[in-house]
Chain A
């Protein structure tokens, strides 16, 4: 199914400046893989080379952080919004 994916400013340059795009998939992993297929500039910034969620981003299904759900296996239902934000941390 198609869902809306909201992008952080740092990724918008790879999507023609858009703040939200549509991607397809039944799980978060599939949605993010489709996103990177459509916008190859995001390669390596959302998913790692091993196909895991990059530690520098947080991904949410509606209000929920997927790290506290089933990570990339988290199911995506019709009408949900997927949000990507930078993971903000330092020392």
Chain B
């Protein structure tokens, strides 16, 4: 279960829309035990591509330190798919760094953005429920 406060949900989707025509990405800070997201860290997509993303490593380090200073951890990543479903691509699965993370994909293919979250263990992809909660 991934719990997203409504303002964080809006920030994630807004960052993804703002990144068009390229994919956009960012990190999620929260509680690794519960899956409660406290904040998101929008980052640059170093790949600057409609088909690939790379989280800026310098921004990742700053996000990691900020999260630690707040008593939370980086517990996942979000990125957009501009022309495909909200499902991890083979590249996403192959490069998923941490089986403990939440992998959020935002599809911008249709009129309304679609946000889904997954756990990825090796090549096994499991969708998890997403709760958007008023703060």
Contacts and interface: CB of A to CB of B under 8 A. Distances in A.
A85 B79 CA distance: 18
Contacts of B90: 91
A10 B97 contact: yes
A88 B52 contact: no
B109 interface: no
A63 B92 contact: no
Interface residues of B, number: 28
Interface residues of A, number: 17
A69 B51 CA distance: 28
B47 A86 contact: no
Given A9-B100, A56-B95, A60-B61, A89 B55 contact: yes
B52 A91 contact: yes
Nearest to B58: A65
Contacts of A58: 57, 60-61
B60 A10 contact: no
A8 B98 contact: yes
A86 B98 contact: yes
Interface in B98-124: 98-100
